[in-house]
Amino acid sequence: MAQALRAETRSELDGISVSIRDLSLSYGAVEVLGDLNLDVNDGEFLVLLGASGCGKSTLLNCIAGLQPATEGQIFISGKNVTWAEPSERGIGMVFQSYALYPQMTVEGNLSFGLKNAQVPKGEIARRIARAASTLQLEPLLKRKPAALSGGQRQRVAIGRALVRDVDVFLFDEPLSNLDAKLRAELRVELKRLHQSLGNTMIYVTHDQIEAMTLADRIAIMRGGKIQQLATPDDIYRRPANLYVAGFIGSPPMNLLPGRLDGSTFRGPLVADVTGYDFTTRPRGGDIVLGIRPEHVRTGEAAAALPIQAQALVEVVEPMGADTLVWTRLGDTPFRVRLDGEDRVRAGQMLSIGFDPASLSLFDAATETRI
């Protein structure tokens, strides 16, 4: 009977590296994670994205076994690890603050976990050599963490996860303590590492650029719940609700409140939304129309598009490659992103236009995509 049960769970977990089932966590009356379900595929790079306090790091700590869950189950590589110790779960973890052992050399840091697991000496040396060559740590092996730069420290921390030879890597905002340039470099290095190793990686961040560039799928979290779990492209183009629409994109999506009559939107502008890909059968009523600043066309290109309007330019922010223009549609602020070559002056009228296919429409009451 137990045999049969195990066979059944195994088939259900085929191809799934980490499976989180009905997971809840509360401190007394405060619910941090609520009824969370998430399946991470083998070899997938999943990013947990959200503002601070959304529960993303807590979820990662639950997966790592550093934070016991109140309810629910966690499976890693087909094994139920809900009650297992962190070291028994087959995970490696990288922390924002590096968390290197300050009194040990780089080599000591890398070998600490293996010594605890009583791995034979030859095997330890072999794994350290491999990790060191992957991460270019060879010249640093005899140094103490204090003698390393931030980027080197984080590479050692990644190496510490690497030598454990595990199926799943957990990253808790690993790049947030680095300066912008180093962050971009290490981001590419991480992506390369994932491509060459093919391990499952779960990565917590509040940085949407990191999420968009690294992830196979992104889970956007808010208040301990997953708002949307989809590919970066889907999240960008088809945000599931108003929160996701406002969170992803910089500058954020323009959100215009109004009413939908048949297929006509009446708000700060009047627009025929025929051509929009409705997810549900449209009902009339209060809705919010969302359009990304970079999907707005101007001038001649706007004239050819189905939805058109005139906007008053208030502020122009040139940023080199592109220019952000703050305009006003009636009383509503409206952002437009132009090519850096376009010349716009404050005070002029700008003819703008956009395609219904690039819109996102949300029900004003439920805040979900329609």
Any contact of residue 34 with another protein (CB under 8 A)? no
Any contact of residue 117 with another protein (CB under 8 A)? yes
From 12-20, 98-106, 267-275, 313-321, give the range in contact with another protein by CB under 8 A. 98-106
Residue with tokens 């808010």: 222
Residue with tokens 């952000």: 324
From 87-95, 223-231, 236-244, 275-283, give the range in contact with another protein by CB under 8 A. 87-95
Any contact of residue 310 with another protein (CB under 8 A)? no
> Which residue in 195, 215, 196 sits closest to 204, CA to CA?
215
For residues 142 and 145, what is the distance between their CA atoms, to the nearest angstrom?
A: 10
Q: How far is the CB of 93 from another protein (least distance, A)?
A: 5
From 72-80, 99-107, 120-128, 359-367, give the range in contact with another protein by CB under 8 A. 99-107
Q: How far is the CB of 194 from another protein (least distance, A)?
A: 19
Q: How far is the CB of 320 from another protein (least distance, A)?
A: 20
Any contact of residue 214 with another protein (CB under 8 A)? no
> Residue 98 has which token pair?
């590096």
For residues 14 and 77, what is the distance between their CA atoms, to the nearest angstrom?
A: 9
Question: In sequence order, what are the residues at sequence separation of 6 or more whose Cβ sits closer than 8 angstroms to the Cβ of residue 291?
Answer: 253, 254, 256, 354, 358, 359, 360
For residues 349 and 309, what is the distance between their CA atoms, to the nearest angstrom?
A: 10
**Where in 171-190 is the site for another protein (CB under 8 A)?**
172
In 3-150, where do the E strands start and end? 16-27, 30-41, 45-49, 71-76, 79-80, 91-94
From 110-118, 257-265, 303-311, 315-323, give the range in contact with another protein by CB under 8 A. 110-118
Any contact of residue 25 with another protein (CB under 8 A)? no
Any contact of residue 50 with another protein (CB under 8 A)? no
Q: How many residues bind another protein (CB under 8 A)?
A: 27
